[in-house]
Amino acid sequence: MKNKTIIHVDMDAFYASVEIRDNPNLKGKPVIIGALPDQRGVVATASYEARKYGVHSAMNIKEAYRLCPKGIYLHPNMKKYKAVSNHMHRIWLDYTDVAEFLALDEAYLDVTGSLKLFGSAEKIGREIKRRIAEELNLTCSVGIGYSMASAKFASEEDKPDGFFIVRDRKHYVSLIYNRNVSVIPFVGRKTAQKLNEAGYWKVKDILKAPEKIEKMFGSVRGRAIVEMASGIDHREITPYYKREEKSIGHEETFQEDTSDFDILANYLILFSAKLAEKIKAKHLFCQTVTVKVKYSNMKQITRSCSIESTASSAAIRKTALELLDAVPQKPVRLIGLTLSGFSRTKISQVTFGQDSSRSEKEEELDDTVFALKQRFGAELLKTGSELNASLEINREMNRKEHHE
């Protein structure tokens, strides 16, 4: 097994901690995020104070209320948590590119290649904790290990605000030896039950009878369980940019077909802003822009163009509008825009900066959006708040791009 150093970071009571941070009145109180007690729903998470009452994730909210009637119940605010999560991702990516993000609040970082630069995994782990505290006013738990399993175990070991190091395989096995079999990755509730029924309760029980486990679960799965129990974990971190979708798109079907290509152009402007925002949040750049048009006779055409890698809404919409120009003008029932060909680095743009009229063009497009809103306000509202949100994003991004 090649020597690896892995850090697992996991935020403490993530949604609840963000709410408590933003409303100091909640500090020290049992806070339960999910739904209000008189509503249907489940607990997304609970502050550590609420956990003392037995409240936990995935519990029915009514059950939570029975256990903790004095708790403060709140709806989740996903938009806010996503923004915080993006900030965390940026911090984590400062230490390695080999980063796998899970849920919103968790990451595996393979820092093997970063040790020389930063000194040690411990220094990186401490710095991550310090930055999350300083920049986000939140706490996280950091685990350091030689494998994904040992790092995850380490981050859970000292929660909340934890910091724990598993030195090596021998250390890991000594830590899990007397624990319940459910501590082993891949051993979920059902597998644990099956093991228990066969008399295997602790990790050591598995280590004492590896052949029997292999017989019970088959050579592939059985061996995987035995290896994990022995601290052997060959899994490699899948970096975030390799896990990304192949494409990201948005489309809109009109309530009534339209032959007005100015309207279609304006939809593409809005979609460009929306999708650029999405790929920026994923730290990606795209190289292919595809416009899809479905006509009233249901015939569908797509037009694609490869461009220099970008995450700029201006570059995306310029291409989208050029593609639309090349499309036959007949009544349309659906318009769509898709980005693909993702990369995590931007290929340097040779032409960048040569176009001195860029900001003028930006303003022109912005004016078009506003004109559209004036003329077709009802039309836009009909498609819901998403498009209005896109208008906001569009304006915000233009402002930012002008400042750049």
* Residues involved in catalysis: 106
Shortest distance in whole angstroms from residue 107 CB to Mg ion: 11
8 Å CB contact between 64 and 46: yes
Listed residue (92, 154, 167) closest to 127, CA to CA: 92
Residue nearest to Mg ion (CB): 10
Quick one: 2 or 190, whose CB is closer to ligand DCP?
190
Q: CB 14 → ligand DCP: shortest distance, Å?
A: 3
- Residues 6 or more apart in contact with residue 109 via CB below 8 angstroms: 6, 7, 8, 9, 92, 95, 96, 98, 99, 124, 237
Closest CA to 80 of 157, 21, 123: 21
Residue with Cβ nearer ligand DCP (64 or 335): 64
Distance from C-alpha of 193 to C-alpha of 87, rounded to nearest angstrom: 39
Which residues make up the interface to ligand DCP (CB under 6 A)? Answer: 10-15, 44-45, 57-58, 103, 105-106, 159-160
Q: Which residues are within 8 A (CB) of 19 and not within 5 positions of it... i.e. 6 or more apart?
A: 26, 31, 33, 74, 77
Comparing CB distances to ligand DCP, the nearer of 10 and 49 is: 10
Q: Of 161 and 308, which CB lies nearer to ligand DCP in the complex structure?
A: 161
Q: Which chain residues interact with Mg ion by CB under 5 A?
A: 10-11, 14, 105
CB of 148 to ligand DCP, least distance (A): 16
Kindly state the smallest distance separating residue 199's Cβ from ligand DCP, in Å: 30
Q: Residue 58 binds what, of ligand DCP, Mg ion, none (CB under 5 to 8 Å, by partner type)? A: ligand DCP
- E strand or H helix at 351: none
Pick one of ligand DCP, Mg ion, none as the site partner of residue 45 (Cβ within 5 to 8 A by kind).
ligand DCP
Nearest Cα neighbor of 195 from 211, 186, 182 is 182
Question: Nearest distance from residue 74's CB to ligand DCP, in Å?
Answer: 12
Sign of torsion over alpha carbons 310, 313, 318, 324: positive
Q: Which CB sits closer to Mg ion, 104 or 115?
A: 104
Q: Residue 264 binds which entry of Mg ion, ligand DCP, none, with Cβ cut-offs from 5 to 8 Å by kind?
A: none
The DSSP code for 345 is S
